[in-house]
Amino acid sequence: MLAEAALNCTGTQIRLLFAIVLTTCFPARAQMLWDNHKDSMTDDILYRYRTRYNDLTISFSDAMYNESLIAIEDLCIAIANLPISHFGMSSPNRSASDLLNTDMNRELQYNTVEMAGIVSRNVPLLNDEQKIIYDRIMLAVSAGQGGFFFWMHQVELAKRSLFRYFLPRYDQKMASHWPLHLLALQQLY
C-alpha cells in the first residue's frame, strides 16, 4: 500500500497514510515498515533541503528522517493521542516538552496582531446567523467557559454530499475500512 502511494503521493500524504495505518491497523512490524518506506515519506523534506541550499547532490540524512518521524509522531498524537513508540517504533529525537507542547507551539506561531486585524475586518461582514454564533463563542471564551460548538461551513456541506454519493457505492466488504477511505476522500479537498 505504501509502495503504491509512493508512486503518486507526496511525502506529506504518505506520512499521513502511515500514521493512519499505525493508529488504526497496529502493524506487527511497524519499524520494518518505516525502514522500507522512509525514503518516500521523506522525499519532500529532501526536496526542501535541496531547494534551500541550491544543491542537488544532497541525499537523505538522519536529520531528515528524524524530521519525518517527528511529523508522523505529531499525526499519531493528533489521531490517537499516542506517540509512535506506543506502536513499536523508535521515537524521534526531541525533548519531552516538545512532545507535549506540539499543538501549543503550532498555535504560538501565529502573528496575533495580523490575526486581530483579520478578525476586526471580517466580523462586520458576518451575516446574522454567523454573528450569533460568533457572539456565543466569544461570550464563552471571555467567561472562561468550556463547551462544544458545531458549525458547518458550505465547503463541509459539499464534502458531506460527496460522501453521501460515494458511501452507498462501497462494497459491504469495504465497510470496515470506511474511516480510512473517508479520510482519504477528505484529503482530496
Q: How confident is the model at residue 35, as a pLDDT?
A: 94
What DSSP assignment string belongs to 14-34? HHHHHHHHHHHH--TTHHHHH
pLDDT class of 169 with cuts at 50, 70, 90: very low
Q: Decide: 90 and 31 in contact? Cβ < 8 Å.
A: yes
Give the integer Cα–Cα distance in Å for 23 and 25.
6
Are 137 and 49 in the same domain? no
Say if 117 falls within a structural domain.
yes
Return all residues near 12 (Cβ < 8 A) that are at least 6 apart: 44, 71
pLDDT class of 181 with cuts at 50, 70, 90: very low
Are 58 and 126 in the same domain? no
Average pLDDT over residues 155-171: 51
Nearest in space to 141 (alpha carbons), one of 156, 121, 119: 119
Name all contacts of 159-166 with Cβ < 8 Å and 24+ positions apart. Answer: 159/185, 159/186, 159/189
Are 42 and 62 in the same domain? yes
> 23-73 pLDDT, tens per residue?
999 999 999 999 999 999 999 999 999 998 899 999 999 989 999 999 999
Are 71 and 141 in the same domain? no
Between 103 and 84, residue with greater pLDDT = 84
CA–CA–CA angle 77, 97, 29 (5° rounding):
40
Are 42 and 83 in the same domain? yes
Residue 61, SS3?
coil
What DSSP assignment string belongs to 77-133? HHHHS--GGGGT-PPPS--HHHHHTHHHHHHHTS-HHHHHHHHHHHGGG--HHHHHH
Say if 188 falls within a structural domain.
no
Q: What are phi and psi of 48, to 5 degrees?
A: -60, -45
Say if 57 falls within a structural domain.
yes
Q: How confident is the model at residue 183, as a pLDDT?
A: 46
Are 62 and 102 in the same domain? yes
Nearest in space to 68 (alpha carbons), one of 96, 31, 38: 38
Are 86 and 33 in the same domain? yes
Are 67 and 45 in the same domain? yes
Average pLDDT across the chain, whole number: 77
Q: How many domains does the chain have?
A: 2
Q: How confident is the model at residue 186, as a pLDDT?
A: 47
For residues 26, 61, 57, 5, the Cα torsion angle rounded to the nearest 10 degrees is 0
Q: Which domain holds residue 82?
A: 1-109
Are 32 and 124 in the same domain? no
